[in-house]
Structure 1
């Protein structure tokens, strides 16, 4: 695997490739969930005769003023070893000065109906930062396909819509959420948890499973409604709060656009997804489960 730090080096390397690469953007501090995306990229790339490119860049634009940009773990040497073992061909690890040689005045803003809800409501500007850096990386790498984890459900939807509306010739693929044996979704921020918090953290996915089980049971009994979903959301929030969490949201939305399901959606058994974000101690975790 080659590790390249400049746009010029990367473009020179990819100019020699027989097909457009399959791309996995990351912020580093890699875990098994990231590596599963790289292995998925390896399978897609093998069918196309294309290289696998991963990037590591901690993107200042998507961090709020009180978030963990300065303390976010930078583990490039370890990450490079893991990427090589997972089948990555090229690691692009630019400096901030390389990717943002001047203040990034031009930005990509997601439409409010998708970008300002859920994560966008609690992290203003987050999706502008994500869309801007990913669009820039797409312009640099010129991939034929890119893979993002479904754990960041809203992010995957935002980026798919961006690619479609911008007419980018890139296939955006989702990778399934990987979980620890106890059900906790793998996340770089899990490393911030104390041992006691790590033991409690499983309650986030357990809460989603209870929502899922209740929705399935109510559907089977014909009792699922807009009101029963609202009550279920309130109960899930209260349960987390009673255990010492500070939940931002536990919501059930339509899979297709993350809008609130209507009575007609429920009657037609429109596919739904439960999404949650909550803070345990100083660590904010997110998760989702399709219903």
Structure 2
């Protein structure tokens, strides 16, 4: 695995690979890697791509300085994981290499998706995401971009950005990888105590139950009962839990007939924000 710190060196290397006929697959991450990240890399390699992973904790997508400070940083373990998985290139830039000394926000229209759900709870978050993904794509120039379904809203924002810029990059959304108890794998899980990490499986269990009921019960009733159940757990506070249009994220009161339906939730567990989702109806 070749490690690059500077964008210019990375671009030169990847240009040489393209000239040799390689297709480039790209997995952007913020580090603290786990099996979910590695599954994205494995998908890229399985697609026959020369596979690039980036590790960059992007300050512009954090609207809370304490959250940025607490974000886990495990570069040594991350490098070992990527090497063992067969990653071809790791890009580990500093802030100055990404933003050239100026942390900028993307002005690319995000169609209102950035103001809902995560966007409402974390103002400016998706502007930061869109901005850094645009910069990384300009450096890597991949054929395929691999992102996880766990950050479902993020994948919609990035897809909209790609369409707006008429990019030829193909976004590949990969399934959520879960721990043995069903908890969606996340870099933030390490901040949970072992007991809370085990108990947090009730988030997924509640979602599975809600999704199974969606065809025969009123959606708002299911949502309310699910929120009450989760809020009754010690240390839990639900930010949102609901059924949404899978493309527009419009809240749904009835089963959709067009874009499909996704069940999305964000839950604070002892001060750690956990996201999860289930595609109840997928019309892709």
**TM-score bucket of the superposed structures, by smaller chain:** over 0.9
Residues 131-170 of structure 1 mapped to structure 2, 5 A cutoff: 131-170=130-169
User: Hey, what does 1:7 align to over in structure 2?
Assistant: 7
Instruction: Give the distance between the partners of 1:96 and 1:270, measured in 2 at CA.
Output: 38
Is 1:286 aligned to 2:275, yes or no?
yes
Does the residue aligned with 2:69 lie in a helix, a strand or coil? coil
TM-score calculated relative to the size of structure 1: 0.90
Give, in angstroms, the shift of residue 269 of structure 1: 7.4
Aligned partners of 1:201 and 1:195: how far apart in 2? 10
Equivalent positions of 1:20-169 (< 5 A) are 20-44=23-47, 46=48, 50-105=49-104, 107-111=106-110, 113-169=112-168
CA deviations over 1:33-67 (Å, ceiling 9, x no partner): 000000001011x1xxx411000000000011244
How far is the alpha carbon of 1:250 from its aligned partner?
Answer: 0.2
Equivalence for 2:233: 243
Structure-2 separation of matches of 1:204 and 1:262:
21
1:221 aligns with none
Q: Does the C-alpha gap of structure 1 residues 180 and 267 become closer, same or farther in structure 2, counting only changes over 3 Å?
A: closer
Length-normalised TM-score, structure 2: 0.92
Tell me how far 1:106 sits from its aligned partner.
Answer: 5.1
**1:199 deviation in Å?**
2.2
- The change in CA–CA distance for 1:262 and 1:137 in structure 2 (over 3 A counts) is same
Q: Distance in 1 between matches of 2:101 and 2:31?
A: 23
Displacement after TM superposition at 1:289 (Å): 0.6
**CA deviation map 1:75-130 (0-9, x unaligned):** 11221121122221000000112112222345245535311001101011110010
SS in 2 for 1:208: helix
From the superposition, tell whether residues 200 and 21 of structure 1 become closer, same or farther in structure 2 (CA, over 3 Å): same
Q: Give CA-to-partner distance per residue, 1:160-186, whole Å, 9 cap, x none.
A: 111011111100001100011111110
Is 1:234 the counterpart of 2:224 in the alignment? yes
Paired with 1:247 and 1:154, the residues of 2 have a C-alpha distance of 17
Shift of 1:71: 2.3
The structural deviation recorded for 1:271 is: 2.1
Q: Is the 8 A contact 2:219 2:252 kept in 1?
A: no
Secondary structure at the residue paired with 1:177?
Answer: coil
Q: Give the unaligned 5+ runs of structure 1.
A: 219-223
Deviation at residue 72 of structure 1 after TM alignment: 1.5
The separation in 2 between residues aligned to 1:190 and 1:71, in whole angstroms, is 12
Q: Secondary structure at the match of 1:152?
A: helix
Q: Is 2:187 the partner of 1:188?
A: yes
Cα distance change on mapping 1:112 and 1:210 into 2, 3 Å = same
- Distance in structure 2 (CA, Å) of the matches to 1:138 and 1:193: 33
Corresponding residue pairs, total:
276
The Cα offsets for residues 190-241 of structure 1, whole Å up to 9 and x where unpaired, read as 000012211221111111111111114x0xxxxx4xxx21111111111111
Judge conservation of contact 1:37–1:175 (CA < 8 Å) in 2: yes
Residues 78 and 3 of structure 1, relative CA distance in 2, 3 Å threshold: same
SS in 2 for 1:16: helix
Greater mean alpha carbon deviation, residues 237-246 or residues 64-73: 64-73
Q: Is the 8 A contact 1:20 1:142 kept in 2?
A: no
Shift >4 Å, 4+ stretches:
none
Equivalent-residue separation in structure 2 for 1:230 and 1:77 (angstroms): 46
Change (3 A) 1:270 1:159: closer
